[in-house]
Amino acid sequence: MFHIKSVITPSVKESFLLVVLIVITISVSLIQFGAVPHLPILFSILLLICYGLVKGIPYRKLESGLVQGAGAGMSAVFLFFFIGILISTWMMSGTIPTLIYAGFQLITPLFFFAIVFVVTSIVGLAIGSSLTTVATVGVAFVGMATVLDVSLAITAGAIVSGAFFGDKMSPVSDTTNLASSIVNVDLFTHIRNMGWTTIPAFILSFIVFAVLSPDVVLSDTEKIQAFQDGLLATGTIHWYALLPLVLLIVLTALKVPAMMNLAASSILAIALSYLHQTYNLTEVFGMLFGGYVSETGVTDVDTLLTRGGLQSMFFTIGLVLLSLSMGGLLFTLGIIQTLLGKIESLLKKVSSVIAAAAMTAIGINLLIGEQYLSILLTGQAFQGQFDKVGLAGKNLSRVMEDAGTVVNPLVPWSVCGIFITSMLGVSTLDYLPFAFFCLLCPILTVVFGITGKTLTYK
């Protein structure tokens, strides 16, 4: 985004006021009126255009900034198309249902909180959606916790931690793909690099959840059995259904580009689906576009498995393009450059740059409550600073996820916080102290920034 040249140099006061107006517009729209983020971002774009016109900038130059900003996300757009296809084909082949079924085999009354954390991590990793994981298996675990009379707050903390581990590390997660594409880092390079902070956070979280787990007896397994029966009813639970995942891992190790990797895994998944289900070409095309539709009759299972397809990506793609367009205008008008220039004297060290990026991602989550914007705006604002101190782009993409993706569910007025509370019936402030994974990731990313460990230089 820093290749976009500013056409004016606004004052610090004007730049600050415009940013505050944008933050207020988006925050009030999301929190007070429950609007989808697309609309307030579009209003913010209009505000920036009006500011530019008042400053005497030709409309064509402003339009050029919009186009250049949106153009920076085209690689992400095409990647999202293939993610939508991959999800639907992995449903057809049984890859995702088989992974979820395997996760439920781990459930035991011993170390209950730790097992909840692991199972939700597996499900989240398989489907790449934290909110879907929370709304389905998460709700089942809360029901089990109620029957066992164990802490609902710790159970919810384990669910949120596992769900967002999966969201953060899954190759089919839109936030993971967004973070890597925004700074032009290969998807699987980004995922491997996140392991430096994510794996320690996972292990520490697992240990704490294991220590906190009470000595209980699992007396009511009806909900879990209903999930397993529903998964078996799909007829897609087979050992060979894991082959598309194996191929994805192998091609990743061979450093095959992400788009080609996803395409190859999708083709294999379609072929394997014919071993247990005969689809005609019209049905295949329908699922590739509209997604897989589960019809087991078990509501929670059908909710979990009905997903994927090109169409499922349109919401995310629209938000990405609008946000990047707004970013393009912010750079064209010199607003980002002015604000960064004001604090540039403080960003001479690697540690200060990483800490500032992390605090920006956290701050956007707190002020606006939107996960995607915390990733997008942090990436746009700090890419140049990371270049100046010689850090590779994958360091920034890791910070964007460590302090952006996993922080959103910890904010009571955020999109994720509101959704999770409504689904689990546990307030955000109640489960916040026990969402250990989400708390550890931003801490570890700042600590590694200070110590210089795990960082990659150009």
Residue 111 vs residues 115, 152, 160, 247: alpha-carbon distances, Å: 6, 15, 17, 33
141 falls within a domain: yes
* Pairwise pLDDT comparison (411 vs 370), residue with the higher score: 411
- Report the number of distinct structural domains present in the chain: 1
Query: Would you say 425 and 143 are in contact if contact means Cβ atoms under 8 Å apart?
Result: no
125-135: average pLDDT: 80
Grade residue 3 by pLDDT with cuts at 50, 70 and 90. Answer: low
pLDDT of residue 417: 85
Q: φ, ψ for residue 307 (rounded to 5)?
A: -170, 175
pLDDT band (50, 70, 90) for residue 412: confident
The answer to whether residue 63 sits within a structural domain is no
In which band, very low, low, confident or very high, does the pLDDT at 68 lie, cut at 50, 70 and 90? confident
Q: What is the pLDDT of residue 219?
A: 59
User: What's the confidence (pLDDT) of residue 407?
Assistant: 94
Q: Residue 402 gets which letter from DSSP?
A: I
Q: pLDDT confidence of 447, banded at 50, 70, 90?
A: very high
- Whole-number Å distance between alpha carbons of 444 and 453: 10
Which range scores top for mean pLDDT: 54-58, 98-102, 108-112, 213-217? Answer: 54-58
pLDDT bracket for residue 34 (50, 70, 90): confident
pTM, two decimal places: 0.74
**Mean local confidence (pLDDT), 126-139:** 78
How confident is the model at residue 216, as a pLDDT?
64
For residue 296, is pLDDT > 80? yes
Q: What is the pLDDT of residues 169-180, one digit of tens each?
A: 988 888 898 899
Judged against a pLDDT cut of 60, whether residue 19 lies above it is answered with yes
More confident residue, 99 or 14: 14
Instruction: Give the position of tokens 């292990």.
Output: 203
- The region, left, alpha or beta by phi > 0 then psi within -120 to 50, assigned to residue 170 is beta
Terminal CA-CA length for the chain: 19
Query: Which residue in 354, 2, 404, 391 sits closest to 179, CA to CA?
Result: 404
Per-residue pLDDT, 217: 63
Six token digits for residue 333: 């008008």
Q: Is residue 377 pLDDT above 90, yes or no?
A: no
Question: Residue 433 domain-assigned?
Answer: no
| 55: in domain | no
In a domain, 260, yes or no: yes
Cα angle 447, 118, 443 (rounded to 5 degrees) comes to 10
Domain presence at residue 434: no
Domain membership flag for residue 255: yes
pLDDT-based confidence at residue 104 (cuts at 50, 70, 90)? confident
State yes or no: pLDDT of 109 exceeds 70. Answer: no
Strand partners, 457: 391
Residue 345 is predicted with a pLDDT of: 64
Arithmetic mean of pLDDT, 66-93: 84
Which amino acid would we find at residue 318? G
Quick count: other Cβ atoms within 10 Å of Cβ 342? 12
- How would residue 245 be classed by pLDDT, with cut points 50, 70 and 90? confident
pLDDT tier at 57 (50, 70, 90 boundaries)? very high
pLDDT band at 344 (very low <50, low <70, confident <90, very high): low
* Mean per-residue pLDDT, 423-447: 92
pLDDT > 80? residue 320: no
One DSSP character per residue, 434-452 reads G-HHHHHHHHHHHHHHHH-
Distances (CA, A) of 371 to 131, 169, 178, 290, 362: 12, 15, 11, 25, 10
Stretch 174-199: mean pLDDT = 90
Q: Is there a domain that residue 379 lies in?
A: no
Residue 2 has pLDDT above 60, yes or no: no
For 275-303, what is the mean pLDDT?
88
Mean of pLDDT values over 271-278: 91
pLDDT value of position 218: 61
Provide the domain limits for residue 238: 75-312
Digit-coded pLDDT (tens) for 195-237: 999 999 999 999 999 999 887 666 556 767 777 888 888 888 9
Range 422-449 average pLDDT: 92
